[in-house]
Amino acid sequence: MRIHLRIWRQNGPTDQGRFENHTVESVSPDMSFLEMLDTLNETLIRQGQEPVAFDSDCREGICGTCGFLVDGQPHGPDPCTTVCQLHMRRFKDGDHLTLEPWRAKAFPVLRDLVVDRSAFDRIIQAGGYTSVNTGGAPDGNAVPIAKQTAEAAFDSAQCIGCGACVAACKNASAVLFTSAKVTHMALLPQGQVERHTRVLNMVARMDLEGFGPCSNEGECEAVCPKGISLANIATLNREWWKATLLK
């Protein structure tokens, strides 16, 4: 296949940025999207040009490192799929695709398709943890947890922090990400001690980082590669109000 790409190029947060047009020849339908970009970069390097910068690590949809807009859609057109899991068989010979980085004030562009998502790290540092004594791992059944509760907590814990929810939201809101982290810990007995301070601190940090408000339109859930539910946002709201009343 031949794929035509219109790619955003930017040297840093203060650079104006621009689109560049490139064509990738001999693209195999079995290639992943990132392997196709690897092929482009190999060609650019041979020609003495600067390769396109993009994030990746596991390339298995686990780490949350990769992510950019493909024709305006975070991670591309396939639901519940990270861009590293997107395969070129999804596209047709001669397709024209536009690639852009996440667009959010809290995610400054570092280079090309790479953005700084350390704002997510600072939200986690504000309260997305439990203070427990370290030591040997306890037995799996040492703290009984109902199956339904454990499954609900696991559903929330699947969030990989890729930032697709922020990129899809017209307000650049991080509420789905924050709510998944808050809900995960609020459901488990290990998270009860810091339950109220956690939600207050994480929401305050989220606002401080410059993320916008949630208007419950659902774009975040629609593009989330792990299918994180909007129900987490309702849980976050309840947890925040309880904590506010009790402080």
CATH class belonging to 118-132+145-246: mainly alpha
Predicted local distance difference test score (pLDDT) of residue 126: 96
The amino acid sitting at 226 is: K
Q: Which runs of consecutive H residues, i.e. helices, occur in the chain?
A: 33-46, 118-127, 147-157, 164-168, 175-187, 195-208, 219-223, 231-246
Predicted local distance difference test score (pLDDT) of residue 113: 98
Domain ranges of the chain: 3-111, 118-132+145-246
Looking at domain 3-111, its CATH architecture is Roll (3.10)
Mean pLDDT, each 10-residue run in order, the chain (247 residues): 98 95 97 98 97 97 96 97 97 98 96 98 94 76 89 96 97 98 94 94 97 95 97 96 91
